[in-house]
Structure 1
Amino acid sequence: MLLVTARPSLRGSQPPMKLVFAGTPEVAVPALDALIASDRHEVAAVVTRPDAPAGRGRRLVASPVAQRAADAGIEVLKPARPRDEDFLARLREIGPDCCPVVAYGALLPKAALDVPVHGWVNLHFSLLPAWRGAAPVQHAILAGDEMTGAATFRIEEGLDTGPVYGVITEPVRPTDTSGDLLTRLAFAGAGLLAATMDGIEDGTLRPVPQSADGVSLAPKITVEDAHVDWTAPALRVDRVVRGCTPAPGAWTAFRGERLKLVQVALLPDRKDLAPGELDAGKNHVHVGTGSHAVELLWVQPQGKKPMRAADWARGVRIAPGERVGAPVVG
């Protein structure tokens, strides 16, 4: 079921397969680019989320997918809800053969799922049935997975439960943030999605039902999920920081204000600091955990830009014995 390269079309002189691509954030752009570049398919339109406020002025800005489609001269559809009749009517009018999806961000109703003859095919950033849901990459890092990947599957009304067309694997590196890993998967997955469209187009690829074993869920990571517990082992602290970077951002409390933790390093030989206890030197900031210490490398104080932790510590003049996080009881 592993898909890596496209094969020559078996359809001879038949016209390209007509696609309507659905996606919203930057991570979906590589897949859209791969499909636009293919001479085997025609991206007739793009479906994306409506323009959203961004920046200090909160001006309405089109999604990265909408901007890329507009640059390529492709029709852009921005329904407030995919069940809106105007959108469904336009989708039926276009008459796509298949609708590839990458991080669209809205549930698709049965009325939309039934339009293309080959359905809607989602590129999901996990090895299904592991990590079904909105945040598979973050949860893979939080769980300490050493291997993850991406899968293409036909969308059903259930949550990421549809039969799988193809998979690729990707190792999770020890220093990977969710942003690092997602970027690699976005580009590798673009090739997987294009190969899946090729296999559907020439009739050589059939989806396989997901296993009932190994199912795990990956709900959206909340701000509270990103709150670092310094009584946890250092390995858990490191995973929370990496898994929640860049969003929503791991954080702790310092002097009553939120301090975002951008990058830490493990210090397995230092075990003399209590959980949350700070030790700031000229060029280092160490923090105790439930096991051994970690070093803060980059932090972001509230209302400021990211900075080196040692520079932050010099500015706030950390007192001996001072701590981050909630006070330790007992």
Structure 2
Amino acid sequence: MSGTVLVTGGAGYIGSHTVRKLVRNDYQVAVFDNLSKGHRWAVPQDVPLIVGDIADTAHVAMTIRQFHVTSIIHFAAFSLVGESMIEPRAYYTNNVIGTLHLLDAMRATGVDRIVFSSSAAVYGEPASVPIGEDSALVPTNVYGRTKVVIEGILHDYMVAYGLRSVSLRYFNAAGADPNGGIGEDHDPETHLIPLVLQAAAGRRSSVTVFGNDYPTADGTCVRDYVHVNDLADAHVLALESLERQTEAMYNLGNGEGFSVRQIIETAQRIVGHDIPILEAGRRAGDPAVLIAGNRRACRELGWTPQLADLDAIVRTAWNWEQHRPIR
């Protein structure tokens, strides 16, 4: 595929891993990020980083023309579930209206291919697991609702303007690039595996387990953890699929679930010592089990998770935690 891939939000966690994967696959890449959540150090030095906001249509259009962009992978978004319920206007403005401005820039410059970073949050509390792409979209939070709205916009733009798009609904992104240098670095951190490993490293006093009375094997929540490098692979495959299809959506997960206690026990074995735990009650809206049905992505994209083993996921995250630069 000729031309440059513009990665919005490419300085963030999943975006920066996808940028590395694109570079390794010999794509020309440019990153567009306002650095409100992302990190300048996460972008390879030889990849152009344009600091700007996707809501600035003129800036995005100028960037598209300057770098001869032919396709976009769109990560730029606010993504904290709890915050979305407190600040819905900020989430609709940034995620939905920001995406509309991005699409305006694409239409103005003739770019008609986009891979969209969606989320399993579009499903809410599923009626059954594993969750298939045809499951009902009943999000239980504002963040998930913004993703549903954007997926609908992409469909309407396909019908009206011929926009080609793939929406990737991923489950719990985890791990870090085995080659080192980048990993999960959120502020505040809300994801379980880095919280567990920060407690293991003494960077926080303990990790809290919310609920031990769920109808699961050990009473704690079960989630589908997918390695961030496997997610990056899927974005490249999705981009390539736009050569042969106009619209699709795929779940990205391992198709297997691990409980909170399994995560902690695996981490304790890898780090070689106990990790302080606090027990707390359930959080409202936390389903007992969320597992992806990933057959469509495997079949249609040719995607096969390479780092599906929980040990591999936690080991790469621990390597990052141990060698994380002080910045």
Q: What TM-score, normalized to structure 1? A: 0.40
Q: Which has the higher contact order (CA 8 A, sep 6+)?
A: 2
Q: What TM-score, normalized to structure 2? A: 0.41
Greater Cα radius of gyration, structure 1 or 2: 1
More strand by share: 1
